[in-house]
């Protein structure tokens, strides 16, 4: 299955790349900087491979990246990152990883999503069994890679006294949720809550229905979108495009809204 490069996590490096991307005028110039100055690996070939992986996840596979534009690195991700804390940015980057990586998106959609309302932990053996059904090959190694990725992004944590079990901690950043939802849905129009329940944004945050509803209310209370309940159907109306949402994220940060609640 495409996406086995999930073994290359590079969380801190991805944060730094996103933070510094606006200083460069092309993706090639940014990649050269990553190879020559940012990555610490001794092998230049390894650094080139890692730089290419980061470029793919953060730019090439981003539908809002246009290499032919006048300012190709001024994507919603790069502009929004200016107004996100490191923790929120990590959550946003995980969403982009999932958007880009087939193994990661499959785990979120087929392994986690069906059970998010029913579990608060997973086991290593459950994940290995899942990969066997996908005929992915080297299930043990892929399981280790996925667990390390989720752990480094603070989405899961090892359970005390129960080796092989991991607790779901999930993404609890309202600014990250606001960014990802706008990036995924795209158009400032009305959406049913069912659309959001089936979104990558929801899966990448490991939200159960209750937590998702809380985030929808938090965004409504922060005046980021409209919320209505009409004819037994809950609806959210986005007001902003992905390109415009960065200014709203700035207001969220200034108002002290982080991790879903006012600080």
| Angstrom distances, CA of residue 20 to CA of 74, 126, 134, 203 | 11, 39, 38, 28
Q: pLDDT band for 248, please (50, 70, 90 cuts).
A: confident
Mean pLDDT score of the chain: 91
**Position with higher pLDDT, 196 vs 252:** 196
Q: What are the pLDDT digits (tens) for 60-114?
A: 999 999 999 989 999 999 999 999 999 999 999 999 999 999 999 999 999 999 9
Quick one: CA torsion of 248, 254, 260, 261, rounded to 10 degrees? -140
Residue 215: closest CA among 159, 161, 176: 176
**Residues found in the chain:** 263
Q: Are 49 and 32 in contact (CB under 8 A)?
A: no
169 pLDDT above the threshold of 70? yes
CB contact set of 118 (below 8 Å; sequence gap of 6+): none
Cα end-to-end span (Å), the chain? 42
pTM: 0.93
| Angstrom distances, CA of residue 1 to CA of 92, 102, 124, 204 | 24, 7, 20, 20
CB contact set of 19 (below 8 Å; sequence gap of 6+): 81, 89
Find the mean pLDDT for residues 184-194: 94
Q: Counting runs of H as helices and runs of E as strands, what totals does the chain give?
A: 13, 8
Residue 71 DSSP code: S
């Amino acid at each position: 299955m495409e996406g086995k490069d999930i073994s290359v996590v590079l969380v801190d490096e991805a944060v730094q790349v996103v933070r510094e991307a606006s200083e460069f005028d092309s993706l090639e110039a940014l990649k050269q900087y990553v190879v020559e100055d940012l990555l610490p690996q001794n092998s230049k070939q390894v650094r080139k491979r890692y730089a290419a992986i980061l470029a793919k996840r953060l730019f090439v596979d981003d539908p809002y990246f246009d290499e032919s534009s006048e300012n190709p690195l001024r994507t919603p991700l790069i502009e929004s990152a200016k107004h996100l804390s490191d923790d929120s940015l990590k959550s946003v980057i995980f969403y982009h990883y999932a958007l880009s990586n087939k193994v990661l998106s499959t785990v979120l959609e087929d392994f986690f999503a069906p059970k998010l309302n029913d579990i608060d932990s997973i086991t290593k053996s459950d994940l290995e069994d899942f990969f066997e059904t996908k005929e992915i090959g080297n299930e043990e190694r892929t399981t280790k890679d996925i667990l390390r990725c989720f752990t480094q992004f603070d989405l899961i944590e090892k359970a005390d006294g129960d080796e092989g079990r991991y607790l779901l901690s999930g993404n609890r950043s309202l600014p990250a949720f606001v960014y990802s939802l706008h990036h995924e849905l795209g158009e400032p129009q009305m959406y049913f809550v069912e659309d959001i329940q089936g979104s990558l944004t929801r899966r990448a945050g490991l939200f159960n229905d209750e937590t998702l509803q809380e985030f929808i209310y938090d965004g409504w209370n922060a005046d980021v979108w409209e919320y209505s309940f009409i004819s037994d159907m809950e609806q959210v109306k986005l007001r902003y495009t992905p390109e415009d949402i960065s200014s709203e994220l700035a207001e969220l940060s200034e108002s002290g809204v982080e991790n879903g609640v006012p600080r």
